[in-house]
Amino acid sequence: MINVVLVNPEIPPNTGNVGRLCVAVGATLHLVKPLGFHIDDRSLKRAGLDYWKKLDLIVWDNFESYVRHTDQHKVVLTSSKRGDLYTRINFRADDHIVFGPETRGLDTEAYRRFPDRIARIPIRLDQVRSLNLSTSVGIIVFEALRQTGALDQLS
């Protein structure tokens, strides 16, 4: 099972959309505090619709707590500016794919701690800073599912 990790997400509808995607593909969603909203935020649940109650959700108090409880070999960081093309990352079924906050991405300390597996979606950085968080999650999660053969298990 793929794990999607949102570190300090700021925009409720993005997190709701990611939660809905996780339910649709059988992934676990990890939210790392601080969050830019309350977990019961109406816009969060509106974006996730009635699927939110079906979501396999784990909430962490902070990034350090998440890291202490996660096998570091399973961590794949994401970036719009560094790392290898996401299609060149060798995804495994139990990976944790980590996304940073919408307005700033992951901090440099995260990249220092996990330098080996960084997935990058190529975009025209001279035109935009990044893609929408839920779009990025969808792109990378479906590549991970394709590589692991999990797409065949979806209807």
Q: Please name the residues in contact with 44: beta carbons below 8 A apart, sequence gap of 6 or more.
A: 12, 13, 15, 16, 19, 37, 38, 52
DSSP state for residue 152 in the 8-state scheme? G
Closest CA to 7 of 104, 115, 94, 145: 104
The residue assigned the tokens 């991970």 is 144
pLDDT digits (tens, 9 = 90+) for 54-109: 999 999 999 999 999 999 999 999 998 899 999 999 999 999 999 999 999 999 99
What average pLDDT does this structure show over 27-48? 81
The residues spanned by each domain of the chain are: 3-153
* pLDDT value at residue 68: 97
The pTM assigned to this predicted structure is 0.94
d(CA 21, CA 88): 23
Is residue 60 within 8 A of residue 101, CB to CB? The reply is: no
* pLDDT value at residue 44: 63
CATH class of the domain comprising 3-153: alpha beta
